[in-house]
Amino acid sequence: MIAAALAALALLAPAPAGLAAPKEKEIAMQLVSSAENSSLDWRAQYRYIEDIHDGRGYTAGIIGFCSGTGDMLEVVRAYAKKKPHSRLARFLPALRRVDGTDSHKGLGKPFVRAWRKAAKQKAMRRAQELTEQCDLFLAIGSSLVVWPAAGFPLAAKRNGARLVIINRDETEFDEIADLVLHDDIGAALAPFIAH
C-alpha cells in the first residue's frame, strides 16, 4: 500500500518540460537577467542585494529573494546549514523578525557585506539554486519542529514542489503535504531499499 502510494506520486511528477528543462531554464534565466540587470550573465547576480523600495525590504540573489517575504530567510537557512559559522548565519534571528515587513532592523550594511561575501561561495550559490529548483521534497522521520530544517518543506511548497511526509507521528505540515504516511520509517521505505 505504502509502496503503491509512493509509486503513484512519482508518476504524477512529469519529466522536466518547459522551464524545468535545463536548456529552457538557462534561456529564461538569461531573459530575466537581461531585463532586470542589463546582462545575460544571470550567475553574476548571486551577489546582488539592495533595497529597491518596493515594500519588501532587501531584494537579492538570482531571482530576487526578499527579506520581507520569507524567501531570503529560506536561502540563508539553507546556506547556514552548510556553513553554520558564517557571518551570514548570525543574521537569521533578524531575518525572522523582519519577515513580512520592509524593515532592515538588525540587518543593514553588515548584512549586505555578509551576503556579498557568502555569494562568492559555492554553498551559497547552491542554496539559492536548490531553493528555487526543488520538484519534490521528502520529509522522512522528522517532526518538522526544529529550525532551520523545518523551513525547507515550506520553501519547497512555496516554489511549487510536491511535499511527501513520512513520519510515525503527525506534524504541523501534514495539512499542506501532497502525501502523508504515518508509519514506521523502516517499514515505509523497505520496498525501496536494496538488501
pLDDT digits (tens, 9 = 90+) for 131-179: 667 788 888 877 776 554 566 677 777 778 888 888 888 988 899 899 9
pLDDT at 134: 74
Amino acid 100 reads G
Share of the chain above pLDDT 90, in %: 21
CATH code for the domain in which residue 160 is found = 3.40.50.1220
Instruction: Give yes or no: residues 52 and 106 share one domain.
Output: yes
pLDDT at 66: 86
Active-site hit among 36, 102, 129, 178: 36
Instruction: Give yes or no: residues 48 and 128 share one domain.
Output: yes
* Residues contacting 75, CB < 8 A, separation 6+: 61, 65, 124, 127, 128, 131
pLDDT at 20: 61
Q: How many domains does the chain have?
A: 2
Amino acid 155 reads A
pTM above 0.75, yes or no: no
Instruction: Give yes or no: residues 90 and 141 share one domain.
Output: no
pLDDT at residue 123 above 70? yes
Q: Is 74 a catalytic residue?
A: no
Residue 21 in domain: no
Q: H-helix or E-strand containing 185?
A: helix 185-189
Instruction: Give yes or no: residues 162 and 127 share one domain.
Output: no
Instruction: Find the domain containing 157 and state its range.
Output: 134-192
Last residue of a domain, one of 132, 154, 178: 132
Q: Is 54 a catalytic residue?
A: yes
pLDDT at residue 112 above 90? yes
Mean of pLDDT over the chain: 80
Active-site hit among 24, 26, 41, 54: 54
Residue 15 in domain: no
In this structure, what are the phi and psi dihedrals at residue 59, rounded to the nearest 5 degrees?
-115, 135
